[in-house]
Amino acid sequence: MRRRQEFVGNLYGKKIFSDYAHHPTEIQSTTQAFKKAFPSKSITILFQPHQGRRILEFWEDFKNVFAQLDEEVLIYPIYHAREDFEKLKKDFEFVEQLQINSFKQLSKAFAQNINGELITDKNLSQKLRNAKGDIILILSAGDIDWKVRQLL
């Protein structure tokens, strides 16, 4: 049950929750559950995409899910363990059309695709401090959960 709607602690006056959701349908279900559980609270989503291939395969699905949300969305760079970017470029021709040449550029393009804000290790603490939500909901199968826990 760890990392499924898990309360992590309080940071900068905000409640921090973490969930393993990293697929569009999981993100939609988890976000809806939080809205229902905390109807009077505002939520900031901190999402770290897991694997470049998944982001590319579900590019439009992610866009549609995040378009339905009215929450602030912060995007942490893609967790891309075991992936070769050159292979992704060959497998997904729109990557080349968008002139994306690295996971860093893909993370930036993904954030723009869903109208989110790309953040980094450098500004993580500041962005969480200034987040609009009363609740920060971490959605990820990557390492951002661990990084936020280190700030607690």
**Contact predicate 107/79, CB 8 Å:** no
Q: What is the pLDDT of residue 2?
A: 65
d(CA 95, CA 125): 31
Q: What is the pLDDT of residue 70?
A: 84
- Buried-state track 105-136, b at ≥16 Cβ within 10 A, e below 16: ebbbbbbebbebebbeeeebbebbeebebebb
Q: What is the pTM of this model?
A: 0.94
Q: Which helix (H) or strand (E) holds 93?
A: helix 93-97
Structural domains for the chain? 6-151 (3.90.190.20)
Q: What is the pLDDT along the chain (152 residues), one digit of tens a residue?
A: 567 889 999 999 999 999 999 999 999 999 999 999 999 999 999 999 999 999 999 999 999 999 998 899 999 999 998 899 999 999 998 898 889 999 999 999 999 999 999 999 999 999 999 999 999 999 999 899 999 999 99
